Amino acid sequence: MRIVHVANFYGPRSGGIRTAMHALAAQYLRRGHEPVLVVPGERAGVAVLDGVRVVTVAAPRVPFSGGYRAVTRPAQVHRLLETLQPDRLEVSDRTTLVGTGAWAHEAGVPSVLLLHERVDGVLRAFLPGGGPDGRIREVGARTMPRLADRYNARTLPLYDRLVATTGYAAAEVERLRARPGWQRSGLRLPPLHRVPLGVDLGLFRPDRRSTAARDELAPRGTALVVVASRLSKEKRVDLAVDAAAQVLRDGRPVRLVVAGAGPLLPALRLRAEQAGLPNRFLSFVPDRERLATLLACADAVVAAGPIETFGLAALEALASGTPVVCSSTSALPEVVGEAGAAGAPEPGALALALHDVLDRDPVARRVTARARAELFPWDATGAAMVALHSRAAFETHLSVPELAVSPA
């Protein structure tokens, strides 16, 4: 079975979409299928990475995104799909590539849309109406869901199946399905499945922590707080900086280490300096083993993004034995469970959550974090997606049972 996975916002070096696409492709390859990835890039081309064909479509950069690109001529992707002749189509995009669902319907190719983001969350993050001002926030809270529902009503029915990684990601679809009059509209929403993403449990391990490695990052007796994130607006790394600064003001020695690049790097570094917060900004860390060591050496990782629909970097921290502090408004509390702490997306609440995890027994918190991550192996994700792609799942046109569910 040839499974073609199409996406925008595929980072040239890292990113959640890239990690998920390659991990799924490896699962398909191991099970005897032929995965093909179609992604935007600087120029058109074809490469083979770890046995997987990656087809690049020339696409412009998205401003202020930290280097991401998006296809602006979707017709060229449709022509490419005609050449590739997929048996199954996966799509990881809610923007310019949503028309691939219509292409798949015309071509008779079963299609799956993976919901890696919520439309209402993206609107809140980037459009007027989602800002910090109380009145603006109130207006945005009423307007953004309505705009998202209208967009989703037009685009989601183009696909045969929808896959959400968490309940938070699924909630937008469930809200639309529950709207008064939806059943009378004549539109059909595809079956919705819950399939969590996974983590490389062999690469990210607690035993990568070492005294020597940690001493290079922070003095002994100082809490090492790490952020591993793209430094862009929606990730809200500023909240992590402010929360760590508050913990320092509370009397707890803290050093913040940030691994990630993006347009906000200079402003975030200045913010930490002005707060008197000991810090080190590493920019992008291309060596995955070095990143795994950094996460294992941390005492806590902060993932402050308020609209995250899963949080692969947070799961990698848990696999490394490090508890995670996250925003209560995101999907991360579902992923982190008792292996961390959540707070409202504002510095004071996240600082309290940081104190919470740092006050826990160091050995116990590392054991709990690793145990939580072990609930999310990539093998389970691969098995669930292959089951979803089975001929029977599509030919019955019935809502099959959930193939995998995020642990409670």
* % residues pLDDT > 90 (the chain): 78
Q: Residue 322 pLDDT more than 90? A: yes
Q: Does residue 26 lie in a domain region?
A: yes
Using one digit for the tens of pLDDT, what is the confidence trace for 281-292? 999 999 999 999
The structure's pTM equals: 0.90
Q: Does residue 257 lie in a domain region?
A: yes
Report the helix count and the strand count for the chain, using DSSP H and E: 16, 14
Tell me: do 249 and 178 sit in the same domain: no
Q: Find the domain containing 51 and state its range.
A: 2-198+377-395
Mean pLDDT over 267-272 rounds to: 98
Using one digit for the tens of pLDDT, what is the confidence trace for 32-66? 999 999 999 999 999 999 999 999 999 998 876 66
Tell me: do 194 and 210 sit in the same domain: no
Tell me: do 221 and 369 sit in the same domain: yes
Q: Does residue 180 lie in a domain region?
A: yes
Using one digit for the tens of pLDDT, what is the confidence trace for 9-40? 887 777 889 999 999 999 999 999 999 999 99
Q: For residue 283, what is the domain's CATH number?
A: 3.40.50.2000
Q: Does residue 309 lie in a domain region?
A: yes
Instruction: Please report where in the chains the tokens 């479509």 appear, as a residue.
Output: 57
Cα→Cα distances 152→143, 147, 178, 244, Å: 14, 9, 13, 38
pLDDT band at 180 (very low <50, low <70, confident <90, very high): confident
DSSP characters over 116-141: -S-HHHHHHHHSTTSSSSHHHHHHHH
Q: Does residue 400 lie in a domain region?
A: no
Tell me: do 100 and 234 sit in the same domain: no
Tell me: do 157 and 52 sit in the same domain: yes
Tell me: do 230 and 244 sit in the same domain: yes
Q: Does residue 252 lie in a domain region?
A: yes
Cα→Cα distances 376→36, 130, 153, Å: 24, 32, 31
pLDDT band at 315 (very low <50, low <70, confident <90, very high): very high
Tell me: do 355 and 384 sit in the same domain: no
How high is the pLDDT of residue 182?
64
Tell me: do 121 and 138 sit in the same domain: yes
Q: Residue 145 pLDDT more than 90? A: no
> Could you give the number of structural domains in the chain?
2
Tell me: do 155 and 11 sit in the same domain: yes
Tell me: do 54 and 106 sit in the same domain: yes
How high is the pLDDT of residue 183?
61
Tell me: do 276 and 317 sit in the same domain: yes
Distance CA 225, CA 240 (A): 9
Mean pLDDT over each residue of the chain, to the nearest integer:
90
* % residues pLDDT > 70 (the chain): 89
